[in-house]
Protein backbone atom coordinates (compact mmCIF):
# COMPACT_ATOMS: atom_id res chain seq x y z
CA UNK A 1 0.00 0.00 0.00
CA UNK A 2 1.27 3.47 -0.81
CA UNK A 3 1.86 5.49 2.31
CA UNK A 4 1.05 8.97 1.25
CA UNK A 5 -0.57 10.64 -1.66
CA UNK A 6 0.12 13.99 -3.20
CA UNK A 7 3.09 14.61 -0.92
CA UNK A 8 4.64 16.94 -3.40
CA UNK A 9 1.58 19.08 -3.77
CA UNK A 10 1.72 22.70 -2.71
CA UNK A 11 0.16 21.94 0.68
CA UNK A 12 3.05 19.99 2.23
CA UNK A 13 0.83 18.46 4.84
CA UNK A 14 0.60 14.96 6.29
CA UNK A 15 -1.95 13.55 8.69
CA UNK A 16 -1.00 10.54 10.82
CA UNK A 17 -3.27 8.62 13.16
CA UNK A 18 -0.27 7.96 15.38
CA UNK A 19 2.97 9.96 15.59
CA UNK A 20 5.89 9.77 18.01
CA UNK A 21 6.32 13.35 19.23
CA UNK A 22 8.73 14.69 21.89
CA UNK A 23 6.11 13.87 24.54
CA UNK A 24 5.45 10.34 23.26
CA UNK A 25 2.89 8.70 20.99
CA UNK A 26 0.07 11.11 20.07
CA UNK A 27 -3.05 10.58 18.02
CA UNK A 28 -4.35 12.48 14.97
CA UNK A 29 -1.21 14.46 14.26
CA UNK A 30 -0.99 16.98 11.45
CA UNK A 31 2.47 17.89 10.10
CA UNK A 32 3.14 20.82 7.84
CA UNK A 33 6.45 21.72 6.25
CA UNK A 34 7.89 24.27 3.85
CA UNK A 35 9.68 24.07 0.50
CA UNK A 36 13.04 24.15 2.30
CA UNK A 37 12.19 20.83 3.97
CA UNK A 38 11.66 22.12 7.53
CA UNK A 39 8.60 21.39 9.65
CA UNK A 40 6.48 24.50 10.17
CA UNK A 41 3.87 23.04 12.52
CA UNK A 42 3.12 19.78 14.33
CA UNK A 43 -0.33 19.51 15.89
CA UNK A 44 -1.74 16.59 17.86
CA UNK A 45 -5.47 15.90 18.25
CA UNK A 46 -6.04 17.63 14.94
CA UNK A 47 -8.73 17.14 12.32
CA UNK A 48 -7.48 15.96 8.90
CA UNK A 49 -7.77 18.91 6.52
CA UNK A 50 -8.78 18.16 2.92
CA UNK A 51 -5.34 19.05 1.55
CA UNK A 52 -3.37 16.61 3.71
CA UNK A 53 -2.05 13.22 2.61
CA UNK A 54 -2.61 10.40 5.09
CA UNK A 55 0.21 8.27 6.48
CA UNK A 56 -0.46 4.55 6.12
CA UNK A 57 1.00 3.76 9.54
CA UNK A 58 2.51 5.28 12.67
CA UNK A 59 5.24 7.84 12.03
CA UNK A 60 8.36 8.58 14.04
CA UNK A 61 11.43 10.80 13.57
CA UNK A 62 14.23 9.55 11.34
CA UNK A 63 17.30 8.35 13.23
CA UNK A 64 20.64 10.20 12.96
CA UNK A 65 23.71 8.03 12.35
CA UNK A 66 26.60 9.71 14.17
CA UNK A 67 29.52 7.71 12.82
CA UNK A 68 30.31 6.33 9.37
CA UNK A 69 33.38 5.44 7.32
CA UNK A 70 31.60 4.93 4.01
CA UNK A 71 34.31 2.99 2.16
CA UNK A 72 34.37 0.30 4.85
CA UNK A 73 30.91 -0.84 3.70
CA UNK A 74 32.52 -2.74 0.83
CA UNK A 75 34.66 -4.87 3.17
CA UNK A 76 31.93 -5.80 5.67
CA UNK A 77 31.96 -9.57 6.02
CA UNK A 78 35.35 -10.02 4.33
CA UNK A 79 37.43 -10.10 7.51
CA UNK A 80 35.56 -12.76 9.47
CA UNK A 81 38.20 -15.47 9.26
CA UNK A 82 41.16 -16.28 11.45
CA UNK A 83 44.45 -15.06 10.04
CA UNK A 84 46.25 -15.30 13.33
CA UNK A 85 45.36 -16.72 16.71
CA UNK A 86 45.63 -13.19 18.07
CA UNK A 87 43.39 -11.44 15.52
CA UNK A 88 42.33 -8.11 16.94
CA UNK A 89 41.28 -4.60 16.08
CA UNK A 90 44.87 -3.97 14.98
CA UNK A 91 45.07 -6.91 12.54
CA UNK A 92 41.62 -5.91 11.19
CA UNK A 93 43.02 -2.40 10.71
CA UNK A 94 45.88 -3.73 8.58
CA UNK A 95 43.34 -5.42 6.30
CA UNK A 96 41.23 -2.27 6.20
CA UNK A 97 44.29 -0.20 5.19
CA UNK A 98 45.04 -2.59 2.32
CA UNK A 99 41.46 -2.19 1.17
CA UNK A 100 41.55 1.61 1.50
CA UNK A 101 44.74 1.77 -0.58
CA UNK A 102 42.92 0.52 -3.69
CA UNK A 103 39.83 2.72 -3.68
CA UNK A 104 39.41 5.21 -6.52
CA UNK A 105 37.16 8.28 -6.44
CA UNK A 106 34.63 6.49 -8.67
CA UNK A 107 34.56 3.47 -6.37
CA UNK A 108 34.11 5.64 -3.30
CA UNK A 109 31.21 7.44 -4.94
CA UNK A 110 29.47 4.16 -5.79
CA UNK A 111 30.10 2.55 -2.40
CA UNK A 112 28.94 5.62 -0.47
CA UNK A 113 25.78 6.06 -2.54
CA UNK A 114 24.73 2.43 -2.03
CA UNK A 115 25.56 2.60 1.67
CA UNK A 116 23.47 5.73 2.14
CA UNK A 117 20.56 4.08 0.37
CA UNK A 118 20.88 1.15 2.77
CA UNK A 119 20.90 3.62 5.65
CA UNK A 120 17.74 5.32 4.41
CA UNK A 121 15.94 2.00 4.00
CA UNK A 122 16.93 1.16 7.58
CA UNK A 123 15.53 4.46 8.86
CA UNK A 124 18.66 6.58 9.22
CA UNK A 125 17.81 9.98 7.72
CA UNK A 126 21.10 11.73 8.60
CA UNK A 127 24.70 10.59 8.70
CA UNK A 128 27.93 12.03 10.11
CA UNK A 129 30.70 10.96 7.74
CA UNK A 130 34.07 10.71 9.52
CA UNK A 131 36.02 11.11 6.32
CA UNK A 132 39.75 10.39 6.42
CA UNK A 133 40.50 9.04 2.94
CA UNK A 134 41.80 12.22 1.33
CA UNK A 135 44.69 11.60 -1.09
CA UNK A 136 45.64 9.51 -4.10
CA UNK A 137 47.06 6.02 -3.41
CA UNK A 138 50.65 7.34 -3.47
CA UNK A 139 49.80 9.92 -0.81
CA UNK A 140 49.86 12.93 -3.15
CA UNK A 141 46.89 15.25 -2.82
CA UNK A 142 44.46 15.16 -5.74
CA UNK A 143 44.50 18.29 -7.94
CA UNK A 144 41.34 19.14 -6.05
CA UNK A 145 42.30 18.47 -2.41
CA UNK A 146 38.66 17.84 -1.57
CA UNK A 147 38.13 15.35 -4.41
CA UNK A 148 37.16 12.38 -2.27
CA UNK A 149 35.16 14.41 0.25
CA UNK A 150 33.20 15.90 -2.64
CA UNK A 151 32.46 12.42 -3.99
CA UNK A 152 31.02 11.38 -0.64
CA UNK A 153 29.04 14.61 -0.35
CA UNK A 154 27.59 14.12 -3.83
CA UNK A 155 26.74 10.49 -3.09
CA UNK A 156 24.76 11.59 -0.03
CA UNK A 157 22.89 14.17 -2.10
CA UNK A 158 22.00 11.56 -4.74
CA UNK A 159 20.80 9.09 -2.14
CA UNK A 160 18.85 11.86 -0.40
CA UNK A 161 20.26 11.49 3.12
CA UNK A 162 21.12 14.46 5.36
CA UNK A 163 24.90 14.78 5.72
CA UNK A 164 27.31 16.19 8.27
CA UNK A 165 30.65 15.97 6.50
CA UNK A 166 33.56 15.74 8.95
CA UNK A 167 36.95 15.97 7.24
CA UNK A 168 39.42 14.13 9.48
CA UNK A 169 42.84 15.33 10.58
CA UNK A 170 45.32 12.45 10.70
CA UNK A 171 48.97 13.29 11.39
CA UNK A 172 50.78 10.48 13.19
CA UNK A 173 50.88 6.72 13.61
CA UNK A 174 50.94 6.90 17.38
CA UNK A 175 51.47 8.92 20.54
CA UNK A 176 54.65 10.98 20.65
CA UNK A 177 54.12 12.21 17.08
CA UNK A 178 55.35 8.97 15.54
CA UNK A 179 55.78 9.28 11.77
CA UNK A 180 52.83 7.96 9.76
CA UNK A 181 53.19 4.52 8.21
CA UNK A 182 53.36 4.14 4.43
CA UNK A 183 49.86 2.64 4.41
CA UNK A 184 48.48 5.73 6.14
CA UNK A 185 49.68 8.11 3.42
CA UNK A 186 46.21 8.69 1.97
CA UNK A 187 45.00 10.04 5.32
CA UNK A 188 47.75 12.45 6.36
CA UNK A 189 47.40 16.24 6.47
CA UNK A 190 48.69 19.16 8.49
CA UNK A 191 46.01 21.12 10.36
CA UNK A 192 46.43 23.95 7.83
CA UNK A 193 46.04 21.62 4.84
CA UNK A 194 42.95 20.02 6.37
CA UNK A 195 41.39 23.44 6.96
CA UNK A 196 42.22 24.37 3.34
CA UNK A 197 40.44 21.20 2.27
CA UNK A 198 37.41 22.17 4.34
CA UNK A 199 37.40 25.68 2.83
CA UNK A 200 37.55 24.24 -0.70
CA UNK A 201 34.76 21.82 0.10
CA UNK A 202 32.51 24.54 1.52
CA UNK A 203 33.06 26.69 -1.58
CA UNK A 204 32.27 23.81 -3.91
CA UNK A 205 29.36 22.39 -1.89
CA UNK A 206 27.85 25.16 0.26
CA UNK A 207 25.82 24.30 3.36
CA UNK A 208 22.05 23.95 3.08
CA UNK A 209 19.28 22.30 5.08
CA UNK A 210 20.50 18.83 4.13
CA UNK A 211 24.25 19.46 4.40
CA UNK A 212 26.51 20.83 7.08
CA UNK A 213 30.18 20.59 8.03
CA UNK A 214 32.15 19.78 11.10
CA UNK A 215 35.65 18.54 11.74
CA UNK A 216 37.23 15.45 13.24
CA UNK A 217 40.65 15.16 14.85
CA UNK A 218 41.05 11.41 14.24
CA UNK A 219 42.17 10.41 17.75
CA UNK A 220 44.70 11.41 20.39
CA UNK A 221 47.11 8.83 18.96
CA UNK A 222 46.90 10.30 15.43
CA UNK A 223 46.85 14.02 16.28
CA UNK A 224 49.43 15.79 18.44
CA UNK A 225 48.36 18.22 21.19
CA UNK A 226 49.71 21.08 19.06
CA UNK A 227 47.90 19.78 15.99
CA UNK A 228 44.68 19.50 17.95
CA UNK A 229 44.98 23.08 19.19
CA UNK A 230 45.74 24.45 15.71
CA UNK A 231 42.84 22.53 14.20
CA UNK A 232 40.33 23.61 16.83
CA UNK A 233 41.41 27.26 16.69
CA UNK A 234 41.24 27.38 12.90
CA UNK A 235 37.96 25.50 12.79
CA UNK A 236 36.24 27.54 15.47
CA UNK A 237 37.27 30.76 13.70
CA UNK A 238 35.37 29.49 10.68
CA UNK A 239 32.42 27.62 12.21
CA UNK A 240 32.13 28.47 15.92
CA UNK A 241 29.09 26.28 16.57
CA UNK A 242 29.72 23.31 14.29
CA UNK A 243 30.33 19.74 15.49
CA UNK A 244 33.69 18.23 16.44
CA UNK A 245 34.00 14.44 16.50
CA UNK A 246 36.92 12.30 17.71
CA UNK A 247 37.70 8.60 18.22
CA UNK A 248 38.62 8.56 21.87
CA UNK A 249 39.06 5.27 23.76
CA UNK A 250 38.17 2.34 21.55
CA UNK A 251 40.93 -0.04 22.54
CA UNK A 252 42.61 -0.86 25.84
CA UNK A 253 45.94 -0.74 24.01
CA UNK A 254 45.18 2.85 23.05
CA UNK A 255 44.34 3.73 26.66
CA UNK A 256 47.61 2.16 27.86
CA UNK A 257 49.65 4.06 25.27
CA UNK A 258 47.94 7.30 26.20
CA UNK A 259 48.72 6.71 29.87
CA UNK A 260 52.37 6.02 29.05
CA UNK A 261 52.69 9.03 26.76
CA UNK A 262 50.71 11.61 28.72
CA UNK A 263 50.15 10.23 32.21
CA UNK A 264 46.39 10.38 31.65
CA UNK A 265 43.67 8.22 30.14
CA UNK A 266 42.28 9.55 26.82
CA UNK A 267 38.96 10.98 28.03
CA UNK A 268 40.61 12.46 31.12
CA UNK A 269 43.32 14.01 28.94
CA UNK A 270 40.76 15.53 26.59
CA UNK A 271 38.77 17.07 29.45
CA UNK A 272 41.99 18.47 30.97
CA UNK A 273 43.12 20.12 27.74
CA UNK A 274 40.02 21.09 25.77
CA UNK A 275 36.69 22.70 26.57
CA UNK A 276 34.51 19.65 25.80
CA UNK A 277 31.07 21.16 25.23
CA UNK A 278 27.92 20.38 23.26
CA UNK A 279 29.81 20.58 19.98
CA UNK A 280 31.71 17.40 20.78
CA UNK A 281 30.94 13.80 19.93
CA UNK A 282 33.31 11.29 21.56
CA UNK A 283 33.13 8.19 19.39
CA UNK A 284 33.98 4.84 20.99
CA UNK A 285 34.27 6.23 24.52
CA UNK A 286 34.32 2.55 25.37
CA UNK A 287 37.00 2.42 28.03
CA UNK A 288 36.08 4.85 30.79
CA UNK A 289 36.89 4.73 34.47
CA UNK A 290 34.24 5.94 36.91
CA UNK A 291 35.55 9.50 36.99
CA UNK A 292 35.64 9.71 33.20
CA UNK A 293 32.13 8.27 32.94
CA UNK A 294 30.86 10.91 35.35
CA UNK A 295 32.74 13.75 33.65
CA UNK A 296 31.49 12.80 30.20
CA UNK A 297 27.92 12.38 31.49
CA UNK A 298 28.05 15.79 33.19
CA UNK A 299 29.36 17.49 30.06
CA UNK A 300 26.97 18.40 27.26
CA UNK A 301 28.97 16.25 24.82
CA UNK A 302 27.60 13.16 23.09
CA UNK A 303 29.09 9.68 23.42
CA UNK A 304 28.97 8.11 19.94
CA UNK A 305 28.21 4.42 20.43
CA UNK A 306 28.69 1.91 17.60
CA UNK A 307 27.74 -1.35 19.30
CA UNK A 308 27.76 -3.72 16.30
CA UNK A 309 31.17 -2.52 15.13
CA UNK A 310 32.51 -2.47 18.68
CA UNK A 311 31.34 -6.07 19.08
CA UNK A 312 32.74 -7.06 15.69
CA UNK A 313 36.15 -5.59 16.51
CA UNK A 314 36.25 -6.94 20.04
CA UNK A 315 36.51 -3.47 21.55
CA UNK A 316 34.68 -3.83 24.84
CA UNK A 317 31.45 -2.70 26.48
CA UNK A 318 30.58 0.94 27.16
CA UNK A 319 29.37 1.61 30.75
CA UNK A 320 25.95 2.58 29.47
CA UNK A 321 23.91 2.22 32.64
CA UNK A 322 26.03 4.50 34.83
CA UNK A 323 26.39 6.93 31.96
CA UNK A 324 22.68 7.19 31.14
CA UNK A 325 21.71 7.31 34.79
CA UNK A 326 24.16 10.24 35.09
CA UNK A 327 22.18 12.01 32.31
CA UNK A 328 24.85 11.35 29.68
CA UNK A 329 23.94 11.93 26.05
CA UNK A 330 24.37 9.24 23.40
CA UNK A 331 24.15 8.89 19.66
CA UNK A 332 24.55 5.72 17.64
CA UNK A 333 26.65 5.02 14.57
CA UNK A 334 27.11 2.19 12.12
CA UNK A 335 30.85 2.94 11.80
CA UNK A 336 32.32 0.00 9.80
CA UNK A 337 28.82 -0.99 8.57
CA UNK A 338 28.85 -4.66 9.55
CA UNK A 339 25.23 -3.76 10.30
CA UNK A 340 23.31 -0.80 8.89
CA UNK A 341 20.37 -0.82 11.25
CA UNK A 342 19.79 1.52 14.21
CA UNK A 343 17.49 -1.06 15.79
CA UNK A 344 20.36 -3.56 15.90
CA UNK A 345 22.66 -0.95 17.48
CA UNK A 346 20.19 -0.14 20.25
CA UNK A 347 19.40 -3.81 20.82
CA UNK A 348 23.07 -4.66 21.22
CA UNK A 349 23.65 -1.67 23.50
CA UNK A 350 21.10 -3.20 25.86
CA UNK A 351 22.12 -6.84 25.30
CA UNK A 352 25.77 -6.06 26.08
CA UNK A 353 24.63 -4.85 29.49
CA UNK A 354 22.36 -7.86 30.06
CA UNK A 355 25.10 -10.33 29.17
CA UNK A 356 27.63 -8.68 31.46
CA UNK A 357 25.24 -8.11 34.38
CA UNK A 358 22.92 -11.11 33.96
CA UNK A 359 19.80 -8.99 34.48
CA UNK A 360 17.16 -7.61 32.08
CA UNK A 361 15.96 -4.14 31.02
CA UNK A 362 19.17 -2.51 32.23
CA UNK A 363 18.86 0.69 30.21
CA UNK A 364 15.29 1.46 31.25
CA UNK A 365 14.79 4.00 34.02
CA UNK A 366 12.12 4.70 36.61
CA UNK A 367 10.69 7.38 34.36
CA UNK A 368 11.20 5.54 31.07
CA UNK A 369 10.34 1.93 31.74
CA UNK A 370 10.23 0.80 28.10
CA UNK A 371 13.85 0.15 27.14
CA UNK A 372 13.12 0.78 23.46
CA UNK A 373 11.58 4.20 24.12
CA UNK A 374 14.35 5.33 26.42
CA UNK A 375 17.06 4.31 23.95
CA UNK A 376 15.26 5.75 20.92
CA UNK A 377 14.68 9.06 22.72
CA UNK A 378 18.32 9.26 23.77
CA UNK A 379 19.67 8.33 20.33
CA UNK A 380 17.36 10.80 18.57
CA UNK A 381 18.28 13.73 20.83
CA UNK A 382 22.00 13.02 21.14
CA UNK A 383 22.24 11.97 17.52
CA UNK A 384 20.65 15.19 16.32
CA UNK A 385 23.02 17.20 18.49
CA UNK A 386 26.03 15.39 17.02
CA UNK A 387 24.89 16.13 13.46
CA UNK A 388 24.81 19.88 14.16
CA UNK A 389 21.55 19.94 12.22
CA UNK A 390 17.96 20.48 13.36
CA UNK A 391 16.65 16.94 13.13
CA UNK A 392 15.67 14.02 15.37
CA UNK A 393 12.22 15.26 16.46
CA UNK A 394 8.80 15.91 14.94
CA UNK A 395 8.73 19.51 16.07
CA UNK A 396 8.33 22.84 14.25
CA UNK A 397 11.74 24.09 13.14
CA UNK A 398 13.24 20.63 12.72
CA UNK A 399 13.88 18.96 9.39
CA UNK A 400 10.88 17.13 7.98
CA UNK A 401 12.60 13.74 8.45
CA UNK A 402 10.32 10.87 9.42
CA UNK A 403 9.73 7.16 9.06
CA UNK A 404 6.41 5.52 8.35
CA UNK A 405 6.07 2.23 10.18
CA UNK A 406 4.08 -0.64 8.72
CA UNK A 407 0.83 -0.72 10.71
CA UNK A 408 0.45 -4.41 9.81
CA UNK A 409 3.92 -5.46 10.96
CA UNK A 410 3.74 -8.11 13.70
CA UNK A 411 5.74 -5.91 16.10
CA UNK A 412 3.00 -3.24 15.87
CA UNK A 413 -0.24 -4.75 14.65
CA UNK A 414 -2.75 -5.31 17.46
CA UNK A 415 -0.34 -4.09 20.13
CA UNK A 416 -0.52 -0.92 22.27
CA UNK A 417 1.52 2.09 21.08
CA UNK A 418 3.61 2.08 24.26
CA UNK A 419 5.14 -1.24 23.18
CA UNK A 420 5.88 -0.31 19.56
CA UNK A 421 9.41 1.05 19.89
CA UNK A 422 10.55 -1.76 22.15
CA UNK A 423 8.83 -4.11 19.72
CA UNK A 424 10.74 -2.89 16.70
CA UNK A 425 14.07 -2.59 18.56
CA UNK A 426 13.97 -6.05 20.12
CA UNK A 427 11.92 -7.89 17.53
CA UNK A 428 13.80 -9.20 14.51
CA UNK A 429 11.50 -11.30 12.39
CA UNK A 430 12.45 -10.75 8.79
CA UNK A 431 10.98 -7.80 6.94
CA UNK A 432 11.75 -4.38 8.40
CA UNK A 433 8.85 -2.55 10.06
CA UNK A 434 10.00 0.66 8.32
CA UNK A 435 7.90 1.08 5.21
CA UNK A 436 8.53 4.64 3.99
CA UNK A 437 11.23 7.22 4.69
CA UNK A 438 10.96 10.97 4.18
CA UNK A 439 13.91 13.37 4.30
CA UNK A 440 13.33 17.10 4.19
CA UNK A 441 9.69 16.27 3.39
CA UNK A 442 10.67 14.26 0.31
CA UNK A 443 9.78 10.58 0.09
CA UNK A 444 13.02 8.68 -0.66
CA UNK A 445 11.92 5.17 0.37
CA UNK A 446 8.44 3.97 -0.51
CA UNK A 447 7.13 0.51 0.37
CA UNK A 448 10.68 -0.52 1.45
CA UNK A 449 12.23 0.46 -1.91
CA UNK A 450 14.53 3.41 -2.54
CA UNK A 451 13.73 5.20 -5.77
CA UNK A 452 17.27 4.71 -7.17
CA UNK A 453 18.29 1.44 -5.58
CA UNK A 454 18.63 -0.72 -8.70
CA UNK A 455 20.97 1.70 -10.44
CA UNK A 456 22.96 2.39 -7.26
CA UNK A 457 23.38 -1.30 -6.55
CA UNK A 458 24.70 -1.97 -10.06
CA UNK A 459 27.38 0.69 -9.56
CA UNK A 460 28.20 -0.61 -6.08
CA UNK A 461 28.50 -4.17 -7.35
CA UNK A 462 30.86 -3.04 -10.13
CA UNK A 463 33.03 -1.21 -7.60
CA UNK A 464 33.23 -4.25 -5.32
CA UNK A 465 34.05 -6.52 -8.27
CA UNK A 466 36.87 -4.19 -9.32
CA UNK A 467 38.24 -4.13 -5.76
CA UNK A 468 38.13 -7.92 -5.53
CA UNK A 469 39.87 -8.38 -8.89
CA UNK A 470 42.73 -6.02 -8.18
Query: Which residue ranges make up the site for Zn ion (CB under 5 A)?
Result: 335
* Closer residue to Zn ion (CB): 25 or 92: 92
* Closer residue to Zn ion (CB): 335 or 341: 335
* Closer residue to Zn ion (CB): 245 or 438: 245
Q: Compute the distance between CA of residue 160 and CA of residue 451 in angstroms, rounded to an integer.
A: 10
> Which residues does residue 438 pair with via DSSP β-bridges, in sequence order?
402, 443
For residue 282, the minimal CB distance to Zn ion (Å) is: 12
> What Å distances lie between residue 148 and 36, 233, 329, 358, CA to CA?
27, 24, 31, 45
> What Å distances lie between residue 319 and 276, 290, 315, CA to CA?
19, 9, 13
* Closer residue to Zn ion (CB): 198 or 222: 222
Residues in the chain: 470
Q: What residue number has its CB nearest to Zn ion? A: 335
Q: Compute the distance between CA of residue 165 and CA of residue 225 in angstroms, rounded to an integer.
A: 23
For residue 444, the minimal CB distance to Zn ion (Å) is: 25
For residue 284, the minimal CB distance to Zn ion (Å) is: 7
For residue 187, the minimal CB distance to Zn ion (Å) is: 12
Q: Compute the distance between CA of residue 107 and CA of residue 72 in angstroms, rounded to an integer.
A: 12
Catalytic residues: 284, 335
For residue 131, the minimal CB distance to Zn ion (Å) is: 11
Other residues' Cβ atoms within 10 Å of the Cβ of residue 446: 17
Q: Which residues of 313-348 are buried (b: 16+ CB within 10 A; e: fewer)?
A: bebbbbbbbebbeeebbbbbbbbbbbbbbbbbbbbb
Q: Compute the distance between CA of residue 161 and CA of residue 450 in angstroms, rounded to an integer.
A: 11
* Closer residue to Zn ion (CB): 120 or 282: 282
Amino acid sequence: MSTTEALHGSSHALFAMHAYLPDGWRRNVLLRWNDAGALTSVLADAMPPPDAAHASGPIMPGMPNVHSHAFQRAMAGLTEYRGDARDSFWSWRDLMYRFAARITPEMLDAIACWLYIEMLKAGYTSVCEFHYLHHAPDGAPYANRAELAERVTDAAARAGIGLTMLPVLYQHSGFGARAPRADQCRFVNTPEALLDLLDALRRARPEHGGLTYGVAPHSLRAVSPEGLRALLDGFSARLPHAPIHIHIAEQTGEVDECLTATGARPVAWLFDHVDVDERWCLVHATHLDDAETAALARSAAVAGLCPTTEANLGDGVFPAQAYLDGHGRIGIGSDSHVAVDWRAELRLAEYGQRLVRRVRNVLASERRRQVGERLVDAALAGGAQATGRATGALRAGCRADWLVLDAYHPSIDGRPPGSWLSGIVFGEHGETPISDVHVGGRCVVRARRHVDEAQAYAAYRAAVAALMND
